[in-house]
A = this chain, B = another copy of it.
Amino acid sequence: MSKQECVVLGQDGADGCCPGLLTAPLDEDRAETLAKVFKALGDPVRLRLLSMIASRAGGEVCVCDLTPAFDLSQPTISHHLKLLKQAGLIDSERRGTWVYYRLLPETTDQLAAILTRPAGAPATEPAGAAS
């Protein structure tokens, strides 16, 4: 993971790039920043929107192609898209009448890295302590 990708979530720690959620206690500031991104993912409509955007061949989707998949108004869909954008998960570009959305993969890459256990160092071993 590049240094630039760390900056997205403000986690350019002195102890190395993007220390994981599972390897050391998070400090308050990093927890606040990360929680905002996870909160943006904590809604089924936003997850479906993100998956539609991320999986689209060509890499971007017109909002006009997203709205029909939901039983929701376009302003409601736009609000959810705005929250995904504020979280750094997607970006948008207006061209003519429509707004086009694309994934910002550096953010999902970083979340995946944060949730990955360090190789050779399992996060849980309840063995001895539990007996």
- Please give the residue numbers on chain A whose beta carbons come within 8 Å of chain B beta carbons, in ascending order: 21-26, 28, 31-32, 34-36, 38-48, 50-52, 54-55, 58-60, 69, 93, 100, 102-105, 108-109, 111-113, 115-117, 122-130
A27 to chain B, nearest CB (A): 8
Q: Is the interface of A mostly helix, strand, loop or mixed?
A: helix
Contact B38–A25 (Cβ < 8 Å): no
Complex Cα spacing A124 to B34, Å: 22
Q: With a CB–CB cut-off of 8 A, which chain B residues contact A41?
A: 34-35, 38, 41-42
Contact B28–A39 (Cβ < 8 Å): no
Q: With a CB–CB cut-off of 8 A, which chain B residues contact A21?
A: 47, 50-51, 54, 108
